[in-house]
Amino acid sequence: MKAKFYILMAAVAVLSASCSFLDENLKGGYSSENYYTSASKAEMAVNAIYNSLYGNTLWIFGDVASDDSVKGGDDGDQPQINEIDGLNASADNGSLGTFWQDSYETIARANNAIANIEPMNMDEVLKARLLGEAKFFRAYSYFNLVNIFGQLPLKTKPQNSSANIHVGLSPIADVYAQIDRDLVEAVEGLNDLKDGHVNRAAAYALLAKSKIFQRKWDEAVFAIEGFKNLNAGYALEPRYADLFKSGGENSVESIFAIRYATNKIASQGNLLNVWFAPFIEGGYHFNAPTQSYVDCFSEKTVGGEDDLRLDASIGRAGKPWFNGTTFDASWGNATGYLVKKYDEDAVEDMAKSQSTIPQHRIRYAEVLLLEAEALNEASPENLAAAAAALDQVRERAGLDRTKASSQSEMRDAIRLERRRELGFEFHRFFDVMRYGRAYAITALGPAAWPADRYYFPIPQAETDANAALKN
């Protein structure tokens, strides 16, 4: 699979994540009772889940909250992102509310599809695939939510009753248990095709990642073995930069990516091409890379040059940009750098908002790094096997093989490689927090949170609407 998200305008009636007015019957052409009457409508319902992941705010948490970037943009623009950058956001922060609402919309659509497709009389193979897709997306949404908010309402049923709407907080362990359960069931139902739908490779990869985030190393190794046993043909793209061009979602490396249609309809492309681009291209120059990120590329290639991923990931002074231009540090007025991975290099008659560059969420390179981490943490005896996985990623970047000779050195090497390889793909904050308090303090400065790690507050709108969250 390349698990691509097509921007589909599926005509499906769905229920929002937490709305008190849902005590009344829905008005409109369809209800759940009369909609799910054919396989084609069941497919449309699942297509609507894909469509719900069109939101573009994960970067605010994955990148800006970390040491890889700052808000960027004009000083007075989107001030709520500065609060997230400083880890001092309040419950009424607009970016928190948007991400929460978007994520629970995906969950609500998945819950509706699961509950209504399960009893349908239809082709069993198709039913299993559709249920697998819905469960994958529910798991993926909860994985992001639990890493940003910690304890949260674990909703797994349609929002059609007060009991299903007003749900209290579940412990983090329970959220992960639901994520793992959904992914195991998804593996059972999905197929191995690379036809634009999520498949078993994506489910195994996300399951491995979930196990690693829970520090269940042996279970992570087992999930990665499941991925490898598929023999699905995934491999590293020969040229790193090619992943971040139109068509990169078709790469042999792409496992789970958001794909944008080439329909040239304004604002239906990858809007990160607008948010991150320099002002001279009509962009907003947000998500400005830090000097700390640039400095993590201090290691030279075997030929004595800069790591091949650095200039593929960001724009920096004096280096080639696009269309024969040279990057000027003034374009990134916050730090002197800008993100390059989502900038369209040849838009011709297309607007910036029509970009078709994909958003990669899981790549084969990350699976290799997950394998290296799981093996290394599971046992010091796995050092050679961990190095073999890590070195595949390093060698593609032009680097020599790792010199790590102990479990501790290998741990540090893998963490550094994740930062360099996956920069500005919205992973870094999650990694910084899961590595522990000492690592996070080193990366982000003196800790201002009372617990071992920082979680953002549940949005005020959810607390107001969900009676189970009121004191």
Distance of CA 320 to the CA centre of its chain: 28
Query: What pLDDT is attached to residue 127?
Result: 98
Number of domains in the chain: 1
What does the alpha-carbon distance between residue 447 and residue 335 come to, in Å, rounded to a whole number?
23
Total residue length of the chain: 471
- In DSSP terms, 413 is beta-bridged to none
Q: What is the pLDDT of residues 46-91, one digit of tens each?
A: 999 999 988 789 999 999 999 999 999 999 999 999 999 999 999 9
Establish if 169 belongs to a structural domain. yes
Secondary structure letter of residue 252 according to DSSP: T
Secondary structure letter of residue 310 according to DSSP: H
Establish if 233 belongs to a structural domain. no
Query: What pLDDT is attached to residue 290?
Result: 98
Question: Do 130 and 46 contact (CB within 8 A), yes or no?
Answer: yes
Query: What pLDDT is attached to residue 55?
Result: 79
Question: Could you give the C-alpha distances from 399 to 305, 386, 410, 428, in angstroms and in order?
Answer: 10, 16, 16, 21
Q: What is the pLDDT of residues 415-452, one digit of tens each?
A: 999 999 999 999 999 999 999 999 999 999 988 788 89
Q: What is the pLDDT of residues 327-350, one digit of tens each?
A: 999 999 899 999 999 998 655 555
What does the alpha-carbon distance between residue 82 and residue 72 come to, in Å, rounded to a whole number?
9
Which CATH number fits the domain that encloses residue 156?
1.25.40.390
Establish if 301 belongs to a structural domain. no
Question: Do 255 and 1 contact (CB within 8 A), yes or no?
Answer: yes
Query: What pLDDT is attached to residue 348?
Result: 54
Establish if 59 belongs to a structural domain. yes
Query: What pLDDT is attached to residue 56?
Result: 81
Domain that holds residue 161: 4-25+42-221+454-469
Establish if 46 belongs to a structural domain. yes
Query: What pLDDT is attached to residue 3?
Result: 41
Asked whether the CA dihedral 30, 34, 36, 38 is positive or negative, the reply is negative
Establish if 173 belongs to a structural domain. yes
Query: What pLDDT is attached to residue 347?
Result: 55
What does the alpha-carbon distance between residue 410 and residue 424 come to, in Å, rounded to a whole number?
23
What does the alpha-carbon distance between residue 59 and residue 376 come to, in Å, rounded to a whole number?
29
Establish if 69 belongs to a structural domain. yes
Query: What pLDDT is attached to residue 353?
Result: 79
Q: What is the pTM of this model?
A: 0.93
Query: pLDDT under 50 in the chain at which residues?
Result: 1-28
Token pair, residue 152, equals: 């949260």
Token pair, residue 26, equals: 């829905």
Question: Do 72 and 332 contact (CB within 8 A), yes or no?
Answer: yes
Establish if 346 belongs to a structural domain. no
Strands 69-72 and 286-289: antiparallel
φ, ψ of residue 451 to 5 degrees: the values are: -95, -175
